[in-house]
């Protein structure tokens, strides 16, 4: 047993000696970064790799394994980075971060304690004396000190900001303007420019706005300057204020600012880093909404600024400013038409952005103004202040549209930025409505045809000619001439004198038509009142004696007085009609309202008389039939007597649009109602139309027969016979007519 153990121990020693000898031989041929496995094989060390795990070729190479290469099983955690080393790796914190322990490296995520380093509290930042260091998460930024501004084109990033001393725009008075008050203000502005180098931008902005507020609250000798010089001063103040606020606001901290001063000057300003979405600035009298992307110019690394400043005191300098509403036509209301100058309703506001290129915005800006109450039927305009070539300016509407208006607020939308306001037209303006225009022209054209036919009927139909027919005829003629002149000449505003004459003629013709409507209602009432009297001669004599002096004389007196008192108020810039200034329009509205009120009262009394009379004459007529007849005739007489003109007064509130359509349709068809009631619904007239139709057909037949024959004698005699027959037929009609209890209100209706 002992021999066997000894033998085994000897063999083990022999093998160990052989391996040691072979190991020395292996070290000579195994490549770098590897170790031998046996006398004939090698293996790469940890952190290295070869084509196979164990290799026997002396030409094999062990390459470094990049543990940080993706995909990687190594996880260092947030705010850190993996760094590969020869045969290994380690983790390091990102720039701006460090380990809590102060160590430089760590091995895995569980050891990660990276936290932000405050570079501004140490000497790690590189901001110079013109800038201030602001720590950010993982980094820092350099911003210009108060009184300094970034030097454009000299910075690659916010750490490389290069600043230069900021110079506020120099405000100077407009050329040729001499004002002690204005000089004092500009002297103060130079002081503000100096103090801005040592004060914060916020303090400088407050000083400027306070000075401007005090200037406009007590303008001093500015109010004694000529109007055009006041407009030049306003232009320079608005331009200078916008430039100064844009420059100073870039040095403000991120956030929202609001300032308000005793005279009403108010600033709302928001500074943000580049963001998307909309921004809304709200003030007491105005609101602005726009896209944030408009505020920043492409390539500008600075913050985005949006500002809105309300300057109610500027209205003192912008009184009697002309308006250019149509640049292509250059229609300007100048100081020679002071009564036509627009009225400033709202505060003057100025909008500005950090982006100074705001003349053609990619998306519109929406403004909502609160203002004084709008006078009914006055047009409201969204305008901006356009600088003139002479250094002054005027109101213009290009690029701005009125989206909606109420009694005390208006919404505007503009495609550029400037100074804005809401104006009110100085005269009543009828809103252009294509549908109402078409209805008006079609209705009046149809009325003209019907009035012409009615007038010819009243002239030629001898059977119905009496006092009542004379009233119908004069009313038809006045309405025909008034409608015809309205259609062909209401828009002829090119020549001021001609337009005034047209307006005066329309004034007279429409007043004459209303006067004849009054005479119609009066005669209708007298006829109904005297139904018990067989002889109507007293009524006819009374009516014939007064109707022409009243029908044509009263309107002539009213027009003569109006023309003598204010001839310059005939004709407006858009229509040849009466201007509303100083109540001049009541030269037409007053008599018209009085007449249709009296007509309505007379008609109601007449209906009451006729209702009682119809019931007493024929008790067999049912109440329903009686009511239907009276309702129909009352409606027809409402149209004829002009009572429907009261719909024009009702064009207010929610029902204004409906009333406008009813007013236009009914009153443009007044001639149609006259022809319908007095001609087509008259039995005598219908009978006469039938006889005329038969006579014309017979005349046509006779003419065709004479054409076929070659007898010249027959060709000239037969039509004469027909004409004589027609005359005899006319004379056979009862010249006085009868009162029809079913259809008539007065004789020969």
Q: Which two tokens stand for residue 445?
A: 């054209």
- One DSSP character per residue, 285-337 reads SEEEEEEGGGTS-TT--S-EEEEEEEEGGGGGTSTT--EES-TTTT-B--GGG
Short-list 681, 689, 581, CA closest to 640: 681
Q: Which two tokens stand for residue 159?
A: 């750490």
> Are the beta carbons of 532 and 515 closer than 8 angstroms?
no
| 145: pLDDT strictly greater than 80 | no
When pLDDT is averaged across residues 141-145 and rounded to a whole number, the result is 74
447-466 burial: b if 16+ Cβ within 10 Å, else e: bbebbbbbbebbeebebbbb
Short-list 327, 333, 322, CA closest to 227: 322
pLDDT tens string 308-367: 999 999 988 887 787 876 543 333 343 333 446 788 999 999 999 988 888 888 889 999
pLDDT tens string 522-555: 888 887 777 644 444 555 565 667 788 888 999 9
User: 3-class DSSP state for residue 3?
Assistant: helix
* Cβ within 8 Å of residue 728, ≥6 positions away: none
What is the model's pLDDT at position 7? 34
Question: What is the value of pTM for the model shown?
Answer: 0.46
> Are the beta carbons of 331 and 381 closer than 8 angstroms?
no
What is the model's pLDDT at position 15? 34
> Furthest-apart CA pair in the chain: how many Å?
180
pLDDT tens string 597-627: 888 888 888 878 777 766 665 554 445 455 5
What sign does the dihedral 659-661-662-663 (CA atoms) show?
positive
Task: Match 């004849």 to its residue by tokens.
Answer: 516
Count Cα atoms within 13 angstroms, Cβ side, for 506.
23
Domains located in the chain, CATH noted: 30-65 (2.10.25.10), 131-165 (2.10.25.10), 180-428 (2.60.220.50), 443-679 (1.20.1070.10)
| 748: pLDDT strictly greater than 80 | no
In terms of C-beta density within 10 A (0-12 exposed, 13-18 middle, 19 or more buried), how is residue 217 classed? Answer: middle
Mean pLDDT of the chain: 76
Taking the C-alpha atoms of 603, 609, 614 and 619 in order, what is their torsion angle to the nearest 10 degrees? 140
- Band the pLDDT of 254: cuts 50, 70, 90: confident
Short-list 202, 326, 181, CA closest to 259: 202
User: What are the φ/ψ torsions at residue 679 (nearest 5 degrees)?
Assistant: -115, -65
What is the model's pLDDT at position 154? 46
Q: Which two tokens stand for residue 308?
A: 């809105």
Q: Partners of 498 in the beta sheet?
A: none
CA distance 477 to 671: 10
| 470: pLDDT strictly greater than 50 | yes
Q: What are the angstrom distances between the C-alpha of 339 and each of 320, 335, 504, 555?
A: 10, 9, 20, 27
pLDDT tens string 20-54: 344 455 656 788 888 888 888 889 988 888 888 88
CA distance 150 to 161: 7
What is the model's pLDDT at position 420? 94
Range from 2-16, 180-194, 696-710, 720-734 carrying the lowest mean pLDDT: 720-734
Length of the chain: 749
When pLDDT is averaged across residues 119-141 and rounded to a whole number, the result is 76
What is the model's pLDDT at position 628? 57
Neighbours of 585 (CB within 10 A): 16
| 462: pLDDT strictly greater than 70 | yes
Pairing assessment for the beta strands 393-396 and 323-324 based on DSSP bridges? parallel
What is the CA angle 444-447-451, rounded to 5?
A: 140
User: 3-class DSSP state for residue 434?
Assistant: helix
Range from 481-485, 615-619, 680-684, 727-731 carrying the lowest mean pLDDT: 727-731
Considering only CA atoms, give the Rg of the chain: 49
In terms of C-beta density within 10 A (0-12 exposed, 13-18 middle, 19 or more buried), how is residue 410 classed? Answer: buried
Short-list 306, 248, 239, 256, CA closest to 277: 306
* Cβ within 8 Å of residue 624, ≥6 positions away: none
């Amino acid at each position: 047993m002992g021999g066997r153990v000894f033998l085994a121990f000897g063999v083990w020693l022999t093998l160990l000696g052989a391996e040691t000898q072979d190991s020395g031989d292996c070290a000579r041929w195994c490549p770098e970064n590897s170790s031998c496995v046996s006398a004939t094989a090698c293996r790469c060390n940890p952190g290295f790799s070869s084509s196979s795990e164990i290799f026997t070729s002396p030409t094999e190479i062990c390459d470094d394994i990049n543990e940080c290469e993706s995909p990687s099983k190594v996880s260092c955690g947030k705010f850190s980075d993996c760094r590969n080393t020869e045969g290994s790796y380690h983790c390091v914190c990102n720039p701006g971060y460090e380990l809590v322990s102060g160590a430089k490296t760590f091995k895995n995520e569980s050891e990660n304690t990276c936290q932000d380093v405050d570079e501004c509290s140490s000497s790690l930042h590189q901001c110079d004396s013109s800038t201030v260091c602001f720590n950010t998460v993982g980094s820092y930024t350099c911003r210009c000190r108060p009184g300094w501004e970034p030097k454009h084109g000299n910075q690659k990033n916010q750490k490389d900001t290069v600043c230069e001393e900021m110079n506020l725009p120099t405000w100077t008075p407009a050329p040729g303007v001499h004002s002690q008050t204005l000089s004092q203000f500009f002297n103060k502005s130079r002081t503000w420019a100096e103090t801005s180098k040592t004060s914060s931008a916020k303090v400088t902005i407050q000083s400027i706005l306070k000075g401007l507020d005090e200037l406009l609250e007590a303008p001093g000798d500015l109010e004694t300057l000529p109007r055009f010089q006041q407009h030049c001063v306003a232009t320079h103040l608005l331009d200078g204020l916008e430039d100064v606020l844009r420059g100073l606001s870039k040095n403000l901290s991120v956030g929202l600012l609001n300032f308000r001063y005793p005279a009403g000057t108010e600033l709302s300003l928001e500074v943000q880093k580049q963001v998307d979405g909309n921004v809304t600035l709200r003030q007491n009298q105005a609101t602005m909404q726009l896209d944030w992307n408009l505020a920043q110019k492409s390539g500008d690394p600075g913050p985005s600024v949006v500002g809105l400043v309300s300057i109610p005191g500027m209205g003192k300098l912008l009184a009697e400013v002309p308006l250019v509403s149509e640049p292509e036509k250059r229609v300007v209301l100048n100081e020679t038409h002071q009564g036509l100058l627009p009225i400033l309703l709202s505060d003057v506001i100025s909008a500005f952005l950090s982006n100074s290129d705001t003349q053609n915005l990619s998306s519109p800006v929406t403004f909502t103004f609160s203002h004084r109450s709008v006078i009914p039927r006055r047009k409201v305009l969204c305008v901006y202040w356009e600088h003139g070539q002479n250094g002054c300016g005027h109101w213009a509407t290009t690029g701005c549209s009125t989206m909606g208006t109420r009694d005390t607020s208006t919404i505007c939308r503009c495609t550029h930025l400037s100074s804005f306001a809401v104006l009110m037209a100085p005269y009543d303006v009828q809103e252009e409505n294509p549908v109402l225009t078409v209805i008006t022209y079609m209705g009046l054209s149809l009325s003209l045809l019907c009035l012409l036919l009615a007038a010819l009927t009243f002239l030629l139909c001898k059977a119905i000619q009496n006092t009542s027919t004379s009233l119908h005829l004069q009313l038809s003629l006045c309405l025909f001439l008034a409608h015809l002149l309205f259609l062909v000449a209401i828009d002829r505003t090119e020549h001021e004198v001609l337009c005034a004459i047209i307006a005066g003629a329309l004034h007279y013709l429409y007043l004459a038509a209303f006067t004849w409507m009054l005479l119609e209602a009066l005669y209708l009432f007298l006829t109904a009142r005297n139904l018990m009297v067989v002889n109507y001669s007293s009524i006819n004599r009374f009516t014939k004696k007064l109707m022409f002096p009243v029908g044509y004389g009263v309107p002539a007196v009213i027009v003569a007085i109006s023309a003598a008192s204010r001839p310059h108020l005939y004709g407006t810039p858009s229509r040849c009609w009466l201007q509303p200034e100083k109540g001049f329009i009541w030269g037409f509205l007053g008599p018209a309202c009085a007449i249709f009120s009296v007509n309505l009262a007379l008609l109601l009394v007449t209906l009451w008389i006729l209702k009682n009379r119809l019931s007493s004459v024929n008790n067999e007529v049912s109440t329903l039939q009686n009511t239907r007849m009276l309702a129909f005739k009352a409606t027809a007489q409402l149209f004829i007597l002009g009572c429907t003109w009261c719909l024009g007064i009702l064009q207010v509130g929610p029902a204004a649009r409906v009333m406008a359509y009813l007013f236009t349709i009914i009153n443009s068809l007044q001639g149609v109602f006259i022809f319908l009631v007095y001609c087509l619904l008259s039995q005598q007239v219908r009978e006469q139309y039938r006889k005329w139709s038969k006579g014309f057909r017979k005349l046509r037949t006779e003419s065709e027969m004479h054409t076929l024959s070659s007898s010249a004698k027959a060709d000239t005699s037969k039509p004469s016979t027909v004409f004589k027959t027609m005359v005899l037929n006319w004379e056979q009609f009862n010249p006085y007519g009868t009162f029809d209890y079913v259809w008539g209100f007065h004789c020969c209706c």
